[in-house]
Amino acid sequence: MRPNHRPSRNTKKTHNNANNSLRENCLLAEQVGVHLQEAFDNISKIKIRETVMQWLSHSRLDTNEVASQNTMIEAFALATQLLLFMPSMNGRRPIDRFIRDRRTKCSPQALASLYALEQSRFYLLRLQSRTGPLTVSVEDLATTSEITLLDEDIPNHAMGFAVGVYLTPISNSHFITIGTISPLNAPALAEGLSFIREGKGLSNPQRCAATIYSHIIKYGAMWLEGINFFPEVSSSDPALDNNIRFDELDRLALCIKNSFEKNEEPISTHIFETRQLTSYEALRDCLARSLLSRQAGRKGVSEAYAHLAFIMMETYERRATAGTSSIENPLIKFREIISQDLIEFIAAAEVNELFDKLRLKITISKNKKTDNKDQETELTRVLLRIQALRNKTIEQGCTEQEAFASATKVAELLDRYGLSLGEVEIREQACEGIGIETGRRRRTPIDDCVPTLGDFCDCKVWREKDALGAFRYVFFGLPADVKAAHYLYEVLMRTFETELLRFRMDNVKFIGASQRSAINSFQIGLAHGICKKLASMKKERDDFNRRSSGRDLVPLKSSIVEEELEKLGMNFKFKSVHRKQLIEHEAFEAGHIAGQKFTPHHSVEDIE
Mean pLDDT on 237-255: 63
Residues contacting residue 433 through CB under 8 Å, at least 6 positions apart: 321, 322, 323, 324, 474, 475, 476, 477, 482
Which among 352, 284, 268 has a CA at the least distance from the CA of 316?
284
The pLDDT > 90 percentage for the chain reads 12
pLDDT band at residue 148 using 50, 70 and 90 as cut-offs: very high
CB contact at 8 A, 99 and 118:
yes
pLDDT at residue 296 greater than cutoff 90: no
Q: What is the per-residue pLDDT for 305?
A: 92
In this prediction, residues 358-373 reach a mean pLDDT of 64
Please give the Cα distance from 464 to 473 (Å, whole number): 6
First to last CA, the chain: 120
Q: Which of 337, 344, 336, 312 is nearest to 325 (CA)?
A: 312
Report residue 228's pLDDT band, with 50, 70 and 90 as the boundaries: confident
For residue 125, pLDDT over 80 is answered with yes
Given a contact cutoff of 8 angstroms between Cβ atoms, the answer to whether 398 and 370 are in contact is: no
pLDDT of residue 2: 36
The pLDDT assigned to 259 comes to: 86
* pLDDT at residue 9 tops 70: no
Please write the tens of the pLDDT for every residue from 194-222. 999 888 889 899 999 999 998 888 888 78
Per-residue pLDDT band at 439 (split at 50, 70, 90): confident
pLDDT bin (cut points 50, 70, 90) of residue 425 is: low
User: Which of 252-256, 326-330, 331-335, 559-563 is most confident?
Assistant: 252-256
Furthest-apart CA pair in the chain: how many Å? 125
Q: Is the pLDDT of residue 471 over 90?
A: no
Gap between the Cα atoms of 288 and 339, Å rounded = 9
Q: What residues contact 606, with CB distance under 8 A and at least 6 apart?
A: none
Half-sphere exposure of 47 (CA within 13 A, CB side): 15
Out of 38-47, 412-421, 553-562, which region has the weakest mean confidence (pLDDT)? 412-421
Burial code (b: 16+ CB inside 10 Å, e: under 16) for 310-329 equals bbbbbbbbbbbbbbbbeeee
In the chain, helix, strand, coil percent, each to 5? 60, 10, 30
Confidence of residue 8 (pLDDT cuts 50, 70, 90): very low
- Could you report the per-residue pLDDT of 311-354, keeping only the tens digit for each? 888 888 877 766 666 566 777 778 778 877 777 777 888 888 88
Please name the residue ranges forming H helices in 161-298: 186-193, 205-219, 248-261, 268-277, 280-295
Q: Which pLDDT belongs to residue 138?
A: 94
H or E element at residue 595: helix 585-596
Per-residue pLDDT band at 519 (split at 50, 70, 90): confident
- Of the candidates 336, 339, 335, which has an alpha carbon nearest to the alpha carbon of residue 356? 335
Percent of the chain with pLDDT over 70: 73
**Is 117 or 596 the better-scoring residue by pLDDT?**
117
Mean pLDDT across the stretch 137-150? 92
Question: Cβ–Cβ contacts within 10 Å for residue 241, how many?
Answer: 10
- Mean pLDDT score, 75-87: 90
Contact criterion met (CB below 8 Å) for 306 and 360: no
pLDDT tier, 136 (very low <50, low <70, confident <90, very high otherwise): very high
pTM value?
Answer: 0.45
Do residues 284 and 341 lie in contact, with contact meaning Cβ atoms separated by under 8 Å? yes
**pLDDT for the residue 102:** 82
Q: How far apart are CA 304 and CA 257, in angstroms?
A: 5
Residue 518 has pLDDT above 80, yes or no: yes
> Distance from CA of residue 377 to its chain's centroid?
38
Q: Which amino acid is at 441?
A: R
373 pLDDT more than 60: no
Least confident of 11-20, 306-315, 420-429, 434-443: 11-20
Most confidently predicted of 132-136, 140-144, 431-435, 509-513: 140-144
Question: Which amino acid is located at 448 in the chain?
Answer: D
Task: Calculate the alpha carbon distances from 369 to 356, 364, 480, 483 in Å.
Answer: 21, 9, 19, 22
Cα-based angle 108, 112, 118 (whole degrees, multiple of 5): 140
Mean pLDDT over each residue of the chain, to the nearest integer: 77
**Which tops the pLDDT comparison, 144 or 268?**
144
Q: Which residue, among 188, 194, 198, 135, has the nearest Cα to 163 in the 3D structure?
A: 188
* 3-state secondary structure (DSSP) of residue 133: coil
More confident residue, 84 or 560: 84
Mean pLDDT confidence for 356-383: 64
CA distances from 106 to 42, 97, 102, 103, 176 (A): 18, 15, 6, 6, 22
The SS3 assignment for 138 reads: strand
- Of the ranges 15-29, 81-95, 417-431, 563-577, which one carries the lowest mean pLDDT score? 417-431
What is the per-residue pLDDT across 36-69, written as a single tens digit (0 to 9) for each? 888 888 888 888 888 888 888 766 665 556 666 7
State the pLDDT at residue 383: 66
Whether the per-residue pLDDT at 371 is higher than 50: the answer is no
- Between 271 and 564, residue with greater pLDDT: 271
pLDDT at 600 over 50: no
DSSP reduced 3-state for 399 = coil
Q: Is pLDDT at 158 greater than 80 in this prediction?
A: yes
Cβ-contact 164, 190 below 8 angstroms: no
Q: Provide the pLDDT for residue 510.
A: 58
pLDDT of residue 350: 85
Whole-number pLDDT of residue 377: 59
CA 357 to the chain's CA centroid: 30
10 Å CB burial of residue 301 (0-12, 13-18, 19+) is buried
CA distance 473 to 202: 49
pLDDT of 580 strictly over 50: yes
What is the structure's pLDDT at 604?
41
Task: Answer whether residue 3 shows pLDDT above 50.
Answer: no
Estimate the crossing angle of helix 479-506 against helix 373-394, to 10 degrees.
10
Q: How far apart are CA 137 and CA 9, in angstroms?
A: 29
Cβ neighbour number for residue 335 with a 10 Å cutoff: 14
Per the model's pLDDT, the better-predicted residue between 499 and 391 turns out to be 499
- Report whether 485 contacts 449 (CB < 8 A): no
